[in-house]
Structure 1
Amino acid sequence: MPDYPREFEREPALREELTPEQMLRIIFDYTAKIANERNLHNVLVLMANMGREMILADRCTVWLVDYKRGELFTTVAHGVSEIRVPLGSGLVGHSIALGQPLLIEDAYQDPRHNAENDRKTGYRTKSVITVPFVGNDGSIIGAYQAVNKMTKEGVFTQRDLENLSLAASYAGKSLESVMLHEEIVATQKEIIFRMGEIGESRSKETGNHVKRVAEYSRILALGLGLPQEEAEKIRVASPMHDIGKVAIPDAVLKKPGKLTDEEYEIMKTHTTIGYNLLRGSNRELLRTAAHIAHEHHEKWDGTGYPRGLKGEEIHLYGRITAVADVFDALGSDRVYKKAWELERIINLFREERGRHFDPKLVDVFMEQLPRMLEARDRYKDELQE
């Protein structure tokens, strides 16, 4: 069993068995919450709480199988942080190996129980239930493990096993769906970043440029007071800001000198090209990237491109990425210029406050500059031959 910290040594309050109405209410409440949740950690917390409440357990752990590492692990166990154990070890490992639930009235009478953790913590494991989670393809993806019945009798019953199995049947399918969703999101993030690198590589930018712009955008978003989740969305989408450059001719994109008026008009089309590439997606990350690609060259005073938007007509994500992109562009060597010194960059942002850039974002930029510089140092360009 898990190594519980000393602060969890206590005598649990005993409870009465649930009525059918109370059981239904728990099931309805938790299944509704789980169905609407897409964050894996939050789903695991809900699953652990649902299992504990349904069978009146003192503690409930949700274990997942890591087949690549040959381990069982949990980030959600009442009273502990993440635990990893070898696949097949302990009561839960045995249950998963057999693909069958276990109902143990007294763990100390079972040779599979590891009593060492109890001796370390003073926590006395008595009754135990383990129930595997099965995915849609029939493979086992994890298991419930409930410990110590909080009733006068103090032992789990066959009815408890049936109820926890019911919870596992529903939660296992939901868990697999959320894990698949997170895998899809991770894949989207990787694709967005790689596509951003492709766009920048054509203009001889390094992959670290998009990493820096992404990190600057996140710092600015958080400094502006946006939630962590939204700041992360901007961080992931911002590498696509120049994806439209894939369609700009090399003669324009890689020209070392100043562009002619005609060439500049061609260069400006990368914003609408990028927008048109991304706007048809139903994925939120790509829609965010579309706004950024389209509007990161708009200016607060309305003199930017491609549409001459002004002030808050410009999408906030575009305004944020504009600051991040210009900061990195000025501080980096390009085919047409050498990197500016920091003082010169800061002076430019002061001058362009309320002209090129959103005044609030310039203030945030000044406040967050130490973090921006840390990120710049972390993602320095490698010297190339």
Structure 2
Amino acid sequence: MINQHTREVNRSKGAANSDILLATIFEYMGKMSLETDIHKMLLLLADLGTKLVQADRCTVWLHNRDRHTVWTVAGHGVERISIPDTSGFVGRSIQTGVTLNIGDAYLDEHFNKTVDLETGYRTRSILCMPISNQEGTIIGAFQAINKIGMPSFTANDEKILTFAATYAGKSLESFLLQDELAETQKEIIETLGELGESRSQETGNHVKRVAEYSYALAKLAGLPEEEAMELRYASPMHDIGKVAIPDAILLKPGKLTDAEYETMKKHAVYGYEIFRKSGRQLLKTAAIIAHQHHERWDGQGYPSGLKEDGIHVYGRITAVADVFDALGSDRVYKKAWPLEKITAYFLEQRDRQFEGRLVDLFLDHLDEFLAIRNKYADRG
């Protein structure tokens, strides 16, 4: 009877533990499905690993085959680390495709004590296994450190972490492909932005500065990080419509006639037309910026005469960024203004051309924007 009772108790505990593991897995699957940042994704995977095998710390490493390195930003208690892909237990696991279950790391010649010596942490037990994609190519490794309450990781821990590694491989491969596509899209957008500026004999650094100004001002204005980044990547397209403006007008060194100015103003519509039908969020943002960055807070701007909150915040922010950079740069029709004249202009145009709140934020943090201007200054 005692043996039967013991077996029933153990079975109940096993079922309860399985339920907890499943709940944990589903919780993190939900979080990871919403994540768009690779660093945060890796941290979620590391957190999942610690909970599944009751480890003190867990690190997720990614393999860069071209550079022969493995790197991580997902270590609990460590900053980003990049090491040769033949180094330590991680390198050994990646090179051999073998799971390593080490009882005492200090007794193994492959262990690198450098991080422990720098941080004062004492690594004991280690469970390290490769992460593979769907084709079986090893793309990284899971490394759990110091089993809580026990001297070493168990065979059951290996099974559990193997499951996590399998899921991680599929998730990371999909994420990295999406990330690569997104980075390619951003690079294309910046290149197109530079093309638009080059037609008016402005430097590619103009679009870089406007992008950085827009991002910084968006953060100061309280926009979420995701939206601020969207603005950063899309703002280089603000003047892409200039590609459709005739050179005789675009490159004219003197003042434009009324008719010429009306033609020039059409670049805002042309830019909008390029992107308005896209289903991509980044290009939708670019369409808004191209269309509205010449609208004015008082309603006297173009092309639609929008005013105040009727102008999208992306357009309002980019307007400040674009005008600040334009006034401080040499153009075919003018020389760069001194800083004192630029700040006086923004104060004069507060709640006229520009939203007053954005002007205040900009001028209150002027040093930050000047640092950006210096970082991306045009070099003769």
Given that residues 200 and 207 in structure 1 are in contact (C-alpha distance below 8 angstroms), is that contact kept between their aligned partners in structure 2? yes
Tell me if 1:374 matches 2:371.
yes
Tell me if 1:256 matches 2:253.
yes
User: Counterparts of 2:354 and 2:75 in 1: how far apart (Å)?
Assistant: 47
Partner of residue 41 from structure 2, selected from 43, 49, 56: 43
The alpha carbon displacement at 1:108 in A equals 5.1
2:282 paired residue number: 285
2:146 paired residue number: 148
Amino acid at match of 1:268: K
- After superposition, residues 173-212 of structure 1 pair within 5 angstroms as 173-212=170-209
2:72 paired residue number: 74
CA RMSD of aligned residues (A): 2.1
User: Counterparts of 2:27 and 2:239 in 1: how far apart (Å)?
Assistant: 45
Amino acid at match of 2:236: P
The TM-score normalised by the length of structure 1 is 0.89
Q: Structure 2 vs 1, CA of residues 373 and 78 (structure 1 numbering), >3 Å: closer, same or farther? A: closer
Q: Structure 2 vs 1, CA of residues 121 and 313 (structure 1 numbering), >3 Å: closer, same or farther? A: closer
2:322 paired residue number: 325
2:10 paired residue number: none
The TM-score normalised by the length of structure 2 is 0.90
User: Counterparts of 1:80 and 1:178 in 2: how far apart (Å)?
Assistant: 23
1:62-97 C-alpha deviation (Å, 9 max, x unpaired): 111122221222222222222232212222222211
Question: Which of structures 1 and 2 has the larger relative contact order (alpha carbons within 8 angstroms, sep 6+)?
Answer: 1
Q: Structure 2 vs 1, CA of residues 71 and 250 (structure 1 numbering), >3 Å: closer, same or farther? A: same
Amino acid at match of 1:183: E
2:154 paired residue number: 157
1:227 paired residue number: 224
User: Counterparts of 2:338 and 2:101 in 1: how far apart (Å)?
Assistant: 69
Structure 2 unmatched runs, 5+: 1-12
The alpha carbon displacement at 1:332 in A equals 1.5
Given that residues 219 and 368 in structure 1 are in contact (C-alpha distance below 8 angstroms), is that contact kept between their aligned partners in structure 2? no
Stretch moving more, 85-94 or 272-281: 85-94
Q: Structure 2 vs 1, CA of residues 83 and 162 (structure 1 numbering), >3 Å: closer, same or farther? A: same
Given that residues 220 and 368 in structure 1 are in contact (C-alpha distance below 8 angstroms), is that contact kept between their aligned partners in structure 2? no
The alpha carbon displacement at 1:121 in A equals 6.3
The alpha carbon displacement at 1:370 in A equals 2.1
2:272 paired residue number: 275
Amino acid at match of 1:220: L
The alpha carbon displacement at 1:316 in A equals 0.8
1:143-179 C-alpha deviation (Å, 9 max, x unpaired): 1111232234x22222211110000000111112222
Stretch moving more, 314-323 or 359-368: 359-368
User: Counterparts of 1:124 and 1:134 in 2: how far apart (Å)?
Assistant: 29
The alpha carbon displacement at 1:114 in A equals 4.2
Structure 1 unmatched runs, 5+: 1-15
2:62 paired residue number: 64
1:310 paired residue number: 307
Given that residues 55 and 163 in structure 1 are in contact (C-alpha distance below 8 angstroms), is that contact kept between their aligned partners in structure 2? yes
The alpha carbon displacement at 1:368 in A equals 2.1
Given that residues 271 and 294 in structure 1 are in contact (C-alpha distance below 8 angstroms), is that contact kept between their aligned partners in structure 2? yes
Partner of residue 130 from structure 1, selected from 111, 128, 138: 128
1:89 paired residue number: 87
Quick check: which one's helix share is greater? 2
User: Counterparts of 2:274 and 2:96 in 1: how far apart (Å)?
Assistant: 50
Partner of residue 355 from structure 1, selected from 349, 352, 358: 352
User: Counterparts of 2:262 and 2:224 in 1: how far apart (Å)?
Assistant: 37
The alpha carbon displacement at 1:141 in A equals 0.6
User: Counterparts of 2:208 and 2:123 in 1: how far apart (Å)?
Assistant: 49
Tell me if 1:168 matches 2:170.
no
User: Counterparts of 2:350 and 2:375 in 1: how far apart (Å)?
Assistant: 27
Q: Structure 2 vs 1, CA of residues 151 and 259 (structure 1 numbering), >3 Å: closer, same or farther? A: same
The alpha carbon displacement at 1:138 in A equals 2.0
